[in-house]
Amino acid sequence: MSDSVWDQVLGRIETKINQHSFYTWFKPTTFVDDSGEVIQVKVRNKLVIDWLTKHYKGVISEALDEVNRSSTTISFVTDWGKGQASGPALQDAPPQPTTDTRNSPSAAGLNPRYSFDTFIVGPSNQFAHAACRAVAEAPSRSYNPLYIYGGVGLGKTHLMHAIGQFVLEHNPRLKLTYISSERFMNEMINAVRFDSILEFRERYRSVDVLLVDDVQFMAGKEGTQTEFFHTFNSLYDLQKQIVISSDFPPHQIPSLEERLRSRFEWGLIVDI
């Protein structure tokens, strides 16, 4: 009976919001328990809890009224945190002030035209946008790594740059780098050729936030994947923020090493 009550609530909600929003936020929910006064519902992660509470509280209340459960409240629960970095490293040990000019947006590889203010939010990208804002506002404390995927021209790169712009504007002491996977590969090849691999590793393993675009181009390139694997591990172990974009979800990238695939899946994966 309890499970059917939540199904009834979902049925009412589906008639009140657009289909994409329903399938993004409500369809993946799972009934957990009903004590009479409280219905527990499991969702994917804390971001979903925050989003549902902020944007759909009224809709949920209306649906409860319509199924004669007006005195019942919904408690969203999640096992969020599994595989996440365990502590707020940047809060406990903030980076020392720096005047390094490499920390400017342009030197970090960011395009000033791509910001959250210029990003158009719609039903198809609102979840990705919310996740990116959460990461930008609290690097390494929300979702790490954050993996964004979707087709060409849908706004992945825009959101990557927007994260970088926001971080440097509000946390100018943090070291941040945006780089495409192709450039990462080319720089690594040159570092090996000119015997400067230690400097290359230091450059990318000493940042607080690393944004890597189009990671699918690493597929099939064994040396690049190995180097990025160790870079990923180094940053993750230090609880530094990693954001990755790709045209495909990790499991659909051909010739991607399993050890990289599993690490990409440690955090939050969002489509756009």
d(CA 240, CA 39): 37
pLDDT tens-digit map of 202-252: 999 999 999 999 999 999 999 999 999 999 999 999 999 999 999 999 999
Residue 226, H or E segment: helix 222-237
Residue 88 has pLDDT above 80, yes or no: no
Q: Which domains does the chain have, with CATH numbers?
A: 2-77 (3.30.300.180), 89-271 (3.40.50.300)
Q: What is the pLDDT of residue 70?
A: 84
pLDDT tens-digit map of 150-209: 988 889 999 999 999 999 999 999 999 999 999 999 999 999 999 999 999 999 999 999
Burial pattern 14-42, b for ≥16 Cβ within 10 A else e, equals beebeeebbebbbeebebeebeeeebbbe
pTM: 0.72
Q: What is the pLDDT of residue 94?
A: 41
Residue 111 has pLDDT above 50, yes or no: yes
> Which of 196, 254, 202, 257 lies closest to 224, judged by CA?
257
Identify which has the larger pLDDT, 224 or 124.
224
Residue 102 has pLDDT above 60, yes or no: no
d(CA 267, CA 110): 24
The pLDDT of 40-69, averaged and rounded, is 89
Residue 172, H or E segment: none
Q: Could you tell me the two tokens for 34?
A: 């009903």
